[in-house]
């Protein structure tokens, strides 16, 4: 932004600040009306601020030449960045491929599914014959609440029913997130979005 040019409500940073301010005012109003702190906070969706996972979701500085809407996964940091533009991104904690199952590359999101079914690939069944051949979507499903399919690979960015796995190299190559984070990301990402895994 050029020096001396005022920011407007169209600016993402100002919109974010106004959203936080409005949410804070609503919480104060709810508390003043007699609602308990937990009830007051539960009334509002604080969007991209915080998460239930071990690595908090946050808006962070993210310099680079990435187009808004790009997903960048830094496997050594166990972080996924959704680029929002203006040098910022939303940072999420992730679980990544364990030793021998890590990968790097550039692909696109080719499909999205809510509460997806899981059919373990044949390679996984050879390693783990104890796994079910198919599992319907739901709370017990290892793909969690949402899945975004990466190119023509077997890999997905998906939720997890094992939040303790976030921040670790534990998967067979998929990118895992806690369910509230994957729902947040799913709602932001269109089919065709670029995914960079490094």
Catalytic residue numbers read 158, 174
Q: What is the DSSP letter of 118?
A: B
DSSP letter string, 74-86:
ETTTTEEEEEEET
Instruction: Identify the CA nearest to 186 among candidates 117, 138, 115, 134.
Output: 115
- Beta carbons within 10 angstroms of residue 51's beta carbon: 23
- Determine phi and psi for 155, rounding to 5 degrees: -95, 155
Would you say 83 and 72 are in contact if contact means Cβ atoms under 8 Å apart? yes
156 CB-near residues (< 8 Å, 6+ apart): 143, 147, 148, 149, 150, 174, 175
């Amino acid at each position: 932004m050029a020096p001396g040019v005022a920011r407007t409500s169209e600016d993402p940073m100002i919109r974010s600040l106004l959203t936080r301010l409005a949410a804070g005012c609503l919480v104060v109003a709810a508390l003043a009306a007699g609602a308990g702190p937990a009830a007051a906070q539960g009334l509002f969706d604080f969007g991209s601020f915080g998460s239930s996972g071990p690595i908090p979701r946050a808006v962070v500085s993210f310099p680079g030449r990435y187009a808004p809407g790009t997903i960048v996964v830094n496997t050594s940091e166990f972080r996924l960045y959704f680029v929002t533009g203006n040098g910022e991104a939303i940072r999420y904690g992730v679980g990544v491929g364990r030793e021998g199952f890590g990968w790097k590359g550039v692909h696109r999101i080719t499909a999205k599914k809510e509460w997806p079914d899981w059919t373990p690939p044949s390679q996984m069944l050879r390693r783990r014959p104890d796994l079910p051949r198919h599992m319907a979507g739901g709370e017990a499903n290892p793909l969690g609440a949402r899945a975004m399919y990466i190119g023509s690979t077997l890999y997905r960015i998906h939720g997890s029913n094992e939040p303790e796995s976030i921040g670790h190299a534990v998967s067979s190559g998929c990118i895992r997130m806690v369910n509230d984070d994957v729902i947040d990301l799913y709602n932001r990402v269109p089919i065709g979005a670029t995914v960079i895994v490094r």
